[in-house]
Structure 1
Amino acid sequence: MKISRRCLIIKELQINEEIRDKEVRLIDADGEQLGIVPGRKAQELAEEKRLDLVKIAPNAKPPVCKIMDYGKYKYELTKKEKEAKKKQKVINVKEIRLTPSIEENDIKVKAKRAIDFLKNGDKVKVTVRFRGRELGHAEVGKQVLGKFANLTSEYGVIDKQPKLEGRNMVMFLNPKNS
């Protein structure tokens, strides 16, 4: 019994002896189509070139396999993923909690903190938490959120209007694109 050079189980791609199809559409290492060949012959061709046979399109009729260096392919794939990760911007959501009976100076302090978050490019989730009978006066919470939005309007815009969710009224602010 022959032991393959490399027989790894990867979540999606099948390689070498894992491919048990009778016929496959074969692509050479140079990208040249070799047509439909028996699965055994495709594996032999890959072994002759000291490369791996990788099933790249398992759902096609017949499945498409390519002769390639699987280790190099996997390395380049992880390299591309790292590059993509570097380029993407992470947006954090910071939360500020208020109460319906918040004092004027307290709301200014919280607004100043929210402005710092917005300057850093973070989204801000502003929550007014109702306790007990305060829930009967949801309009007071809406007024507090409106006042908060006015204080931060220079640096942020309302992304999601105030909405009552259980015992909390929530509003989201996005940083302004300046």
Structure 2
Amino acid sequence: MTAAAPPLPQAAAGLLAGAPPRLTAHLGLVHEVAGTILHWCAGYGVPVDREAVLFGAATHDIGKTVHREELSAPGSLHERAGYELLLARGVPERLARFARTHGSWAEPGTTVEDLLVSLADKAWKDSRVRDLEDRVVARPARAAGREVWEVFLALDDLLAGIGADAPRRLAVQAARPVD
């Protein structure tokens, strides 16, 4: 028997009605990891729009409903398509933007929320990206008045714990059909 994918929040689930099961499983898993990362951030007093991060994690790849080839192959066409799709469905830009920004954390104007959605999208499968992690660490270190290295070690521990469960998450996603 296949393990259940975490449920999506109602607002995201409504937008993803009819989406491929593998995509909804992926989004549920990234949403789950984003919640764990947000809990960690709260310990540092980082001001974060929690609702935005959770919505962004749950919808960041919605453009893959348009570019289905990117469900099983690399590509970035889904990013702009997802952003436009969300805007067309009445989602405010402050929430729709994650579909566009989750793969471009180094761009000017990137918010802590953008960084956290990007981090969750990497961490769920135990993918580590040093540049992204360095950017994430800078915010809590400033907010808490702590040394960057100290916060990096704490983030490293968090991501190691998230990564330890990656095989289960990958199995949950892989057990769902692409279409």
Pick the TM interval, shorter chain.
under 0.3
More strand as a share of residues: 1
Which structure's relative contact order is higher, taking Cα pairs within 8 Å and 6+ residues apart?
2
TM-score (structure 2 length as normaliser): 0.21
TM-score (structure 1 length as normaliser): 0.21
Larger radius of gyration: 1
